[in-house]
Amino acid sequence: MILNILKYPDKRLRTIAKPVVSVDETI
């Protein structure tokens, strides 16, 4: 699901997923 969110150019989705993405990048 995280990868799907990254595919969307919509800043709103990226903003919502920002904390999740941060954790994913750490991993």
Report the distance separating Cα 11 and Cα 9, nearest Å: 6
pLDDT at 6 (0 to 100): 62
Taking only the tens place, the pLDDT of each residue in 1-27 is: 556 656 666 666 556 556 665 556 655
Is residue 2 within 8 A of residue 16, CB to CB? The reply is: no
Question: Alpha helix locations (H) across 1-27?
Answer: 2-7, 11-26
- The pTM assigned to this predicted structure is 0.17
pLDDT at 26 (0 to 100): 57
